[in-house]
Structure 1
Amino acid sequence: MFFNKRNFFIGSVVLFISIISVIFYFLSTDEYADSKFRTMQNKIASTESVDLTGLDKLSASGGPIMDFPTLKNKLGFVTKPIIIVDSMKEHHGYINDIPITFFGYHRKKPDLRYFLRRLFFTGTSQSQHELIVQEREVAQKYGFGYANIRIDSKCVTPDARVEEFVTYFDQAPENVWFHFHCRHGKGRTSIALVMYDIMKNAPEVSLEDIVRRQYLLGSVNLSDVAAWRKNSTYPSQALERRKKFIQQFYAFICQRKAGGVRRWSEWRASPPTSVVPALAGNH
């Protein structure tokens, strides 16, 4: 009898711990957990040769959308004012200072994970759009500056948005830190970080090295048009367009620094006099 009670007790404890572990997993992990938070000062663990000129001088970081207390902790070493550069164009915001993507508001039919999160953090499994606070407001609450510059990853970013990006960083003060993010911290964040690196370090650093070093820090490899075909919704045409855009943007910035056309739309409207750089494929 004692043995049976003991086994029942142990089994109950194991079951309880298992249930708690599953609930904790659903509450604390995220589909974007593999998206890497990175700064330009991170050590690159690679034996291959890549030009790192100017990289650690970039006061910048990137990653997925996250709650601001977590971001504040990750950037605790930064002494400069921090500006959030939000690349998202889809509807997003925060409830109780938590991104609504954490609750599955971007999904038509949230699964069990999002159901538990909503119930635990908001007290109801229903959507509460009336409680959503815009990111700018939450960022300012935690002492961050904010800019929403919408970058596309699956399609070509409109000329006006590219010019907005260039103008913004032309006029931005030097003594600030920029944190780039999109939903996953992958496509759009990677493009924005590469564009920023190009603006600061082209033509001294080749396009291939800029793309490669950003990839080694945690961005997607923008030169590889095959890497995502097997496990993503990105069609090959979108990856090719994205690669071509980065090549053109590098050529534009190089000729712009040499005294050429200042506006992206004007440069695109006329045949470029500078050579668009080649960008190798798989590494």
Structure 2
Amino acid sequence: MLIKPALLLRRVFGFLVAAYFFFFAANDAYPMPYLVLDNDGAQAFPKRFRILKNNGLRAIGSGQFTHAQLLRIKNQINAPIIVVDLRKESHGFVAGMPISWFGFRNWANKNKLPDAVEEVQRKLLLDIKNKATIRVHTKLHKEFSGAIKPLETVWLQPREVASEEELVRALGLRYKRFYVTDHMAPDKLQVQAFEDFIKTVPADTWLYFHCRGGSGRTSTFMVLYEILRNGRKKTLEQILKHQMQRGGKDLSQFPAANHYKYVPAIERFKLIKEFYLHHS
């Protein structure tokens, strides 16, 4: 039986699409990420910077900071601070400026365990430390599919290369990292680790939550933090509204159903609701 060309083409296309997604899922082989600048330091504070100090909360939230911005925040708060790093993607600092390896959907480390993430990041930072100059992309175009296209680049001399933990501790602050893939909910191990961590935080200590942009992951963990502190006194709707009014993301709103962020957003909100039910 002969197959019509149009039908054959559709079948071949469908097979290729399925093979593409199977390959990346099975082999953790997302396209090679680009080295990018996360923050140019043009503003006094990082993107989406906010402070919460009421009802038992001592929290700061934002996107990725520069060395100068973190020092300014430290001096403004003038109290013990733990920087809570929510980024699973590899990142660090060059001459006090934040850089990261940003690829397809920012998922380069999506299927890696924390120890593997740390090892990959260590090798990447060591690699740029040993180079005379590095090419850093300063502006990206993000396509609907999650693909990335660099638009502007600069060449830098990699002076003073450091991990975030090294930079934070050099300023006399404490550091804690939770490994959360961009746009996605934290897994159960990270959530439990966060609960255990919160129990150890002294009453006079501030938590400075951040991800790359200060939106999804930062808002998620600031909501979880407020649930742990005030879940028995506030409804989930009140907590979500409070976080949104202070500059966080409205986590109850989802992108279009055909967008790659849709399912992760649904799963993230489901986790938040279950977390609230468990702690209210």
TM-score by length of 1: 0.63
Quote the Cα distance in structure 1 between the aligned partners of 2:93 and 2:246: 28
Pick closer, same or farther for the CA change 1:160–1:105 going to 2, 3 Å: farther
2:46 and 2:260 map into 1 onto residues whose CA distance is: 18
| Structure 2 counterpart SS, 1:224 | coil
The aligned counterpart of 2:50 is 38
- AA matched with 1:137: E
Structure whose CA Rg is larger: 1
Distance in 2 (alpha carbons) for counterparts of 1:132 and 1:74: 22
CA-to-partner distance for each residue in 1:131-161, whole Å, 9 max, x for gaps? 6411100101112110001234533422111
Counterpart residue number, 1:58: 57
Query: Who is 1:137 aligned against?
Result: 166
Counterpart for residue 271 of structure 2: 245
Amino acid across the alignment from 1:69: A
Note if 1:88 corresponds to 2:114.
Answer: no
Aligned with residue 186 of structure 1, among 215, 226, 232: 215
- CA gap of 1:152–1:179, structure 2 versus 1, over 3 A, is same
Which structure 2 residue ranges, 5 or more long, are not aligned? 1-38, 102-135, 141-147
Match of 1:219 among 237, 248, 263: 248
Structure 1 equivalent of residue 76 of structure 2: 77
Deviation, structure 1 residue 234:
4.8
Give the one of 229, 246, 266 matched to 2:256: 229
- Deviating above 4 A after TM superposition, structure 1's stretches of 4 or more consecutive aligned residues are 26-30, 105-109
Question: Structure 1: which 5+ residue stretches go unaligned?
Answer: 1-25, 42-54, 255-283
Distance 1:80 1:29, change over 3 A: closer
C-alpha change, 1:61 and 1:105, in structure 2 (3 Å) is same
Structure 2 residue matching 1:150: 3-state secondary structure? strand
Q: 2:137 aligns with which of 101, 104, 115?
A: 104
User: 1:188 Cα deviation (Å)?
Assistant: 0.3
**How many residues of Structure 1 are paired with residues of Structure 2 in the alignment?**
200
- Structure holding more helix per residue: 1
Deviations 1:242-271 (CA, angstroms, capped at 9, x unpaired): 1111100101122xxxxxxxxxxxxxxxxx
Amino acid at match of 2:199: D
User: Of 210, 217, 230, which residue of structure 2 is paired with 1:201?
Assistant: 230
Deviations 1:36-71 (A, max 9, x none): 100014xxxxxxxxxxxxx35311100001113212
**TM-score normalised by structure 2 residue count:** 0.63
What are the residue-to-residue correspondences of 1:145-164 with 2, within 5 Å?
A: 145-152=174-181, 154-164=183-193
Q: CA RMSD in A?
A: 3.0
Measured in 1, the distance between the counterparts of 2:46 and 2:83 equals 21
Q: Deviations over 1:58-102 (max 9, x none)?
A: 111000011132122134332321110000011000011110149
Corresponding residue for residue 5 of structure 1: none
Q: Distance in 2 between matches of 1:27 and 1:36?
A: 14
In structure 2, relative to structure 1, the CA distance for the partners of 1:235 and 1:132 (3 Å cut) is: same
Percent of pairs with identical residues: 26
